[in-house]
């Protein structure tokens, strides 16, 4: 068995050397490293939209610095249209972590503009953070800005649509990142970019997953508010419906995470952390078996389930990391194609 693995490794290495040499000759033929100006634009555009989103959110959250843009704050509207599953106010400190995490990975993405391997700028090839990835993230911020304005103007149904659209765009960014990192995983290690593999996993994938999970929870919270204020459903039932959807999404993700998508998302832990924070916030604010026992019990069950999922994920990944490394499964890929460069 060891002889077979060694032979396989030597063959893979030979393929890599051949492909890398071919790539180098192609680049030398052109005389210089190619830029991807559309991707550069996407990086700058996504960064500017994120900065604008943070500025708008800050202005909308602080009545002392709103500069006349808003006649009330996000919190004012949230208090006016309360929900039976709105978490405790201190839970929303999570936005500070979200914003900081996005700043860190955006800076990392910019650093790839200045770095190169095998006569390619790393932001160009391998395209882990692709043009689509950045455009989708920019679109997320555009929808987030739109949500802020329509929410403050109490357009609840439109706000729900904006928030759902922002979540979908985050999912698209994550899809691009997971797919491309797995596709080029062996190449990254071949080019001595193993550190970048982990930076992608920790900063980009876990950071965006943290953001996407909280945004998904916020969408369910907005959905409960719309149901109770526009759909004629009482607050407790609206909260139960949203918690039920959350439970289904949790179970679906856990199965996808551990069984179907393991090779892509193995080292992504943050969704479970966010769920623990969210359900803890609901428990702190609303747990009362005498007033609304159904939602109290359901929230408690979901909190425990989230914690168990995180523990299961940790121990499973610990074992798989040693016994079934992803790099064995990942495709061997070296030569850039026109599609990859664009």
Q: Specify if 128 maps to a domain.
A: yes
Q: Specify if 210 maps to a domain.
A: yes
Q: Specify if 26 maps to a domain.
A: no
How is residue 202 annotated by DSSP? Answer: I
- Start-end of H helices in the chain: 2-30, 37-61, 74-80, 94-111, 131-152, 156-183, 185-190, 194-199, 206-230, 235-255, 262-265, 270-286, 293-323, 326-329, 338-341
Beta-ladder partners of 116: 121
Q: Which of 96, 102, 179 is nearest to 141 (CA)?
A: 102
Sites in the chain below the pLDDT cut of 70: 1-31, 65-68, 328-330, 333-342
* Predicted pLDDT at 257: 95
Tell me the pairing of strands 116-117 and 120-121.
antiparallel
> Residue 126, preceding bond cis, omega within 30 degrees?
yes
Domain that holds residue 160: 36-341
Q: Specify if 22 maps to a domain.
A: no
* Predicted pLDDT at 160: 96
**Residue 332 has which token pair?**
């061997």
How is residue 92 annotated by DSSP? Answer: G
Write the burial class of residue 216 (CB in 10 Å: 0-12 exposed, 13-18 middle, 19+ buried).
buried
* Predicted pLDDT at 15: 46
* Predicted pLDDT at 282: 95
**Residue 333 has which token pair?**
């890929």
Count: domains in the chain: 1
Q: Which of 145, 282, 161, 291 is nearest to 226 (CA)?
A: 161
Q: Specify if 87 maps to a domain.
A: yes
* Predicted pLDDT at 11: 43
* Predicted pLDDT at 337: 54
Q: Specify if 225 maps to a domain.
A: yes
Write the burial class of residue 183 (CB in 10 Å: 0-12 exposed, 13-18 middle, 19+ buried).
middle
Q: Specify if 18 maps to a domain.
A: no
Write the burial class of residue 117 (CB in 10 Å: 0-12 exposed, 13-18 middle, 19+ buried).
middle
Q: Specify if 264 maps to a domain.
A: yes
Q: Which residues have C-beta within 8 Å of that of residue 127, sequence separation ≥ 6?
A: 39, 180, 184, 340, 341
């Amino acid at each position: 068995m060891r002889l077979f693995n060694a032979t396989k490794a030597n063959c893979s290495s030979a393929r890599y050397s051949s492909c890398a040499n071919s790539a180098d000759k192609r680049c030398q033929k052109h005389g210089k490293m190619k830029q991807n100006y559309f991707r550069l634009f996407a990086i700058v555009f996504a960064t500017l939209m994120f900065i604008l989103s943070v500025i708008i959110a800050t202005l909308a959250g602080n009545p002392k610095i709103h500069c006349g843009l808003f006649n009330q704050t996000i919190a004012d509207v949230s208090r006016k249209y309360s929900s039976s599953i709105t978490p405790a106010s201190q839970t929303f400190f999570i936005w500070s972590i979200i914003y900081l995490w996005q700043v860190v990975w955006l800076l990392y993405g910019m650093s790839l503009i200045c770095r190169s391997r095998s006569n390619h700028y790393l932001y160009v090839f391998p395209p882990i953070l692709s043009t689509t990835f950045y455009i989708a993230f920019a679109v997320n911020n555009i929808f987030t800005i739109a949500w802020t304005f329509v929410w403050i103007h109490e357009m609840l149904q439109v706000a729900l649509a904006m928030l759902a659209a922002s979540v979908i765009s985050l999912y698209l960014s994550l899809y691009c990142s997971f797919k491309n990192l797995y596709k080029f995983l062996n190449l990254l290690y071949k080019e001595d970019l193993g550190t970048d593999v982990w930076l992608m996993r920790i900063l980009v994938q876990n950071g965006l997953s943290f953001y996407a999970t909280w945004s998904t929870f916020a969408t369910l919270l907005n959905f409960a508010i719309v149901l109770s204020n526009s759909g004629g459903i009482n607050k407790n039932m609206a909260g139960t419906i949203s918690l039920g959807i959350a439970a289904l999404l949790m179970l679906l993700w856990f199965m996808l995470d551990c069984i179907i998508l393991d090779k892509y998302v193995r080292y992504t832990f943050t969704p479970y952390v966010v769920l623990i924070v969210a359900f803890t916030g609901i428990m702190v604010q609303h747990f009362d078996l005498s007033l609304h026992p159904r939602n109290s019990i359901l929230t408690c069950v979901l909190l425990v389930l989230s914690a168990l999922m995180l523990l299961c994920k940790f121990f499973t990944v610990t074992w798989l990391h040693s016994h079934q490394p992803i790099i064995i499964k990942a495709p061997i890929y070296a030569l850039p194609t026109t599609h990859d460069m664009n």
